[in-house]
Amino acid sequence: MSLRQVKVSPFQAGLVLGVGSALVQAYFKVIPPLAYGVCMVCHPRDLFNWIADHLFNLNWNFSMASTNWPVLTVVGVVLGALTAAYLHGELHFRPAQRPLFYFVNGFLMINFGLIIGACPIRIVLLSAYGDFTGVFTWVCIVAGVVLGTWFMRWYARRSVERQPSS
């Protein structure tokens, strides 16, 4: 069986992500802060600010794990996903839909994420580390998802009701 035929379930992918994040902390110095193996908000911040700091001396914040060399998780994720998409024939350039809406969402996501100092992945890692604040923030994120989902349902219903009946 070739690599292309291997099927991966979300549970298996999550398991690898969890063990991998513990592994890079335990043996590859991705620490401090604690439970910092994967974070798709803080690691881009570290890489971006590390480059900005070294090129332009801006003195922007990055974690101690990135003091000498930056974390490259985000580069790896993009390269890995690109490779997988290419190997499985799923690399297609699709046109943008509602670009301004998504632009604003990205803008808000990094700001909210950096305010709590974590993305939804690191919140799970922090909770696994036994951090009560991590568990609390996890509950808040789920509550936010519930609110967002209700809003989307309400918006979809309203759109249907407003459509003129033929």
Partner 1 sequence: MTVSIATLVLGFVIGYLGQRSRLCFVSGYRDFILTHNTTLLKGVVGAFLGALGGYILFSHLGGVIPEFPIFLNVGIGTFRSEWLIMLVGGLGVGIVGVLSGGCPYRMHVLAAEGRKTQWFYLLGFYIGLVFYNLVTVHLMVVIRALL
Residues 91-150 that bind partner 1 (CB under 8 A): 91-116, 119-121, 123-134, 136-149
Amino acid at 97: Q
Provide the minimum distance between the beta carbon of 164 and partner 1 in the complex, in angstroms, as a whole number: 27
Between CA 139 and CA 110 the distance in angstroms is: 19
53: Cβ contacts below 8 Å, ≥ 6 apart:
59, 60, 62
99-116 vs 42-56: helix axis angle to the nearest 10? 90
Of 69 and 160, CB closest to partner 1:
69
Peptide bond into 44 cis (omega under 30): no
Size of the site for partner 1 (CB under 8 A): 121
Phi/psi at 148 (5° precision): -60, -40
Of 54 and 142, CB closest to partner 1:
142
Between CA 166 and CA 144 the distance in angstroms is: 37
Is residue 54 close enough to count as binding partner 1 by CB under 8 A? no
- Choice from 2, 57, 61, 166 touching partner 1 (CB under 8 A): 61
Of 101 and 166, CB closest to partner 1:
101
* Residue ranges in 73-92 that form contacts with partner 1 under rule CB under 8 A: 73-85, 88, 90-92
Provide the minimum distance between the beta carbon of 161 and partner 1 in the complex, in angstroms, as a whole number: 19
Is residue 156 close enough to count as binding partner 1 by CB under 8 A? no
